[in-house]
Amino acid sequence: MKKIKVFVIVLITFLIVGGTLFFSKEENQKNLVTYIHSFDKTQKEFQIVSTYEKEGIEYLNGRYLEWDGEKLTLLDPSEKILWTKTFLFEDPKIVLNENRIGVYNEEGILYLYNGNGETLLEDNLENKIFNLKLSDQGLITHIKLEDKEEVLNYDFSSASWDRVTFIDSIPLDYWLNSSNNLMYTQVDFKDGYLYSHLYEKGKENTSLKAEVKDSIILKALPYKGGYIILTDSGIVKTSSDDINLQRDFDLVKDIILDGDEIYILYGDNLEVLNMDLESLHKKTYVLSYTSFHKHERYILLYGDKNIIALFNKEDKAQYASGTSIKKLTSQFNDLIVTLNSGVYTMRIRDVKLDRMEE
């Protein structure tokens, strides 16, 4: 009897320690949550929490930003004006993310503000700004000169600019990765062939992450030391051991990762692949969807006026808008749908029983 008690104690201890180690890994936690939610067969719907009806309005961290081409106005949900800023220089443009607002023009004038209207950066690059991107770590500008192009990364921690110069190549896209390093893609022509390259610029050096021949890199998603790359002709998967896989698709639109699965939109089709690029699921839609967005446990497909929420490859909820959708963003449990006509805040919830019985 004593031996049995000792065995039970050892077994319980083993299970507790083993379970703690197992669920300490984020991937295992996600797999458990996915497994639990897979039993949820309840019908879902998009429920509108709040609306702000006004053309040209943008959502900014619980508040609303109005831009008339000359003046920025930030309002709270009751339409109380929190602050305004007027720009008198020629042809100003704005970009924003969840927390910051950038104002610039093609002549090189640049301002950056936080949500309280405080100035984070004021500069004149004295060169033509072709594009501006914001992130929580910094901002990236793409400038064009007579004989070259440059991508500049402003690091807030060091309050300094870092740059990449392009003379015989063409920059395509640029962003900051989780290590706050500049990632960028470029097109080169070599021996009569077109090549797309993916680079990472670190503090000390720049490293080549992927090379694709005869295709243009549209998107690159990190995955376990390699990348899942969307090109204009399909998908390329690179890995840390230099093994590359490739699969062609026509009329590609977007990709997104959900754990160890790749979702791709092409033509009127949605297809889900494993990491060997083998098909797990395929569906053709009557309506056209162009982009993905991850919200909570759902993969969202959206197009001009329609949104579908998927979970475990199944359509769970749909929403049709009366006006064009500009973009989707998420804040906590809220899905922020920015339309041409205003901003809707939504949540994906169970369909109420009384409505299902109607």
What is the band of 307 on the pLDDT scale with cuts at 50, 70, 90?
very high
Asked if residues 183 and 204 have their Cβ atoms less than 8 Å apart, the reply is: no
Apex 256 CA angle, 253 and 257, nearest 5:
155
Rg for the chain, CA atoms, rounded: 24
Terminal-residue alpha carbon distance, the chain: 62
Decide if 248 contacts 232 (C-beta within 8 A): no
What pLDDT, on the 0 to 100 scale, is given for residue 33? 45
341 within 8 A of 322, measured Cβ to Cβ:
yes
Range 238-266 average pLDDT: 93
Backbone φ and ψ for 260, nearest 5 degrees, come out as -100, 25
Pairing type for strands 298-302 and 44-53 reads unpaired
The continuous run of DSSP H or E covering 170 comes out as strand 170-176
Contact partners, residue 168, CB within 8 Å, separation at least 6 = 188
CA 295-301-304 angle, 5° bins: 120
pTM of the model: 0.85
Q: Hey, is 62 helix, strand or coil? A: coil
Mean pLDDT taken over the chain: 88
User: Using CA atoms, how far apart are residues 170 and 188, in angstroms rounded to an integer?
Assistant: 7
Domains of the chain by range and CATH? 59-167 (2.120.10.30)
> With bands split at pLDDT 50, 70 and 90, how would you rate the model's confidence at 39?
very low
CB contact at 8 A, 229 and 210: yes
Residue 110 forms beta bridges with which residues?
A: 104, 123
Question: For the chain, where are the alpha helices, taking DSSP H only?
Answer: 2-23, 26-37, 353-356
- 21 SS3 class: helix
Categorize the per-residue pLDDT at 27 as very low, low, confident or very high, splitting at 50, 70 and 90.
low
Given pLDDT bands bounded at 50, 70 and 90, which one contains residue 24?
A: low
Q: Quick check: helix, strand or coil at residue 144?
A: strand
- Which residues in 299-309 are b (16+ Cβ under 10 Å) and which e? bbbbbebbbbb
Using one digit for the tens of pLDDT, what is the confidence trace for 153-203?
998 777 788 899 999 999 999 999 988 899 999 999 988 899 999 999 988
Alpha-carbon distance 46 to 325, whole Å?
A: 15
Give the 3-state secondary structure percentages of the chain, helix then strand then coil, rounded to 5: 10, 55, 35
CA dist., res. 124 & res. 132, Å (int) = 14
